[in-house]
Amino acid sequence: MPHFICPNCGNRTLSGERTAGFTTRAKGCSKCGFGFLFELLDDYYPAPNAAFVICDQDAKVIGFGRGVRELTGLGETDALGQPVRDVLGLTFQNGDDHIGTALEWGVRVLDKPVTVHAEGDRPEPATADIFPAYDEDGGLLLVLTPKS
């Protein structure tokens, strides 16, 4: 059975269905009511303080889940429609573009060190886990876990 995770509340579920009933509408979260879930190839357990960012197929922010304000100080309306790399000031080691890799190849990229520079604040070290959306709309789920 496929594993699903809610980018809003982090709730994990198992389900044999990828849609809501007989429709083509994406499955929503049964815990918080968020409009859609991300399907994971394997079960994934984010840290309690992980920040969830939802992006479209062009890596522009379309939504924030839990933890983003705590990590970045940004609210959802501060970032909507902006490229995630720019609005969060993401810098990966060696200048790698793990977001581009996840979007282009449709593969997940896990456990990548990244520095977050949201709104020009001091750099915050984090670990990035990136999951492509496995539907016709594309997009990705970016999970940032602050390093303590």
5 and 78 both lie in a single domain? no
* Residue owning tokens 């309690």: 48
Q: Which of 43, 18, 41, 42 is nearest to 28 (CA)?
A: 18
54 and 19 both lie in a single domain? no
41 and 64 both lie in a single domain? no
> pLDDT at residue 120 above 70?
no
1 and 39 both lie in a single domain? yes
69 and 29 both lie in a single domain? no
Distance CA 87, CA 78 (A): 9
CATH number at 105 reads 3.30.450.20
Segment 105-125 shows an average pLDDT of: 87
40 and 86 both lie in a single domain? no
> pLDDT at residue 115 above 90?
yes
Give pLDDT, residue 74.
Answer: 86
Question: Which of 13-27, 44-58, 59-73, 78-92 is the least confident region?
Answer: 13-27
Query: What's the pTM value of the predicted model, to 2 decimals?
Result: 0.80
Segment 89-103 shows an average pLDDT of: 94
CATH number at 18 reads 2.20.28
The pairing of beta strand 38-40 with beta strand 51-55: unpaired
52 and 109 both lie in a single domain? yes
Confidence of residue 30 (pLDDT cuts 50, 70, 90): confident
38 and 101 both lie in a single domain? no
> pLDDT at residue 24 above 70?
no
91 and 127 both lie in a single domain? yes
Q: What is the biggest distance separating any 2 CA atoms in the chain, rounded to whole angstroms? A: 48
Give pLDDT, residue 59.
Answer: 96
35 and 68 both lie in a single domain? no
39 and 62 both lie in a single domain? no
Q: Do the beta carbons of residue 98 and residue 90 sit within 8 Å?
A: no
Q: Domain residues for 73?
A: 47-148
The pairing of beta strand 38-40 with beta strand 3-5: antiparallel
22 and 35 both lie in a single domain? yes
Segment 125-129 shows an average pLDDT of: 95
Segment 22-31 shows an average pLDDT of: 75
Look at the chain and report how many structural domains it folds into: 2
Q: Do the beta carbons of residue 121 and residue 111 sit within 8 Å?
A: no
With a pLDDT cut of 70, the percent of the chain lying above it is: 90
Question: Which of 3-7, 51-55, 58-62, 109-113 is the least confident region?
Answer: 3-7
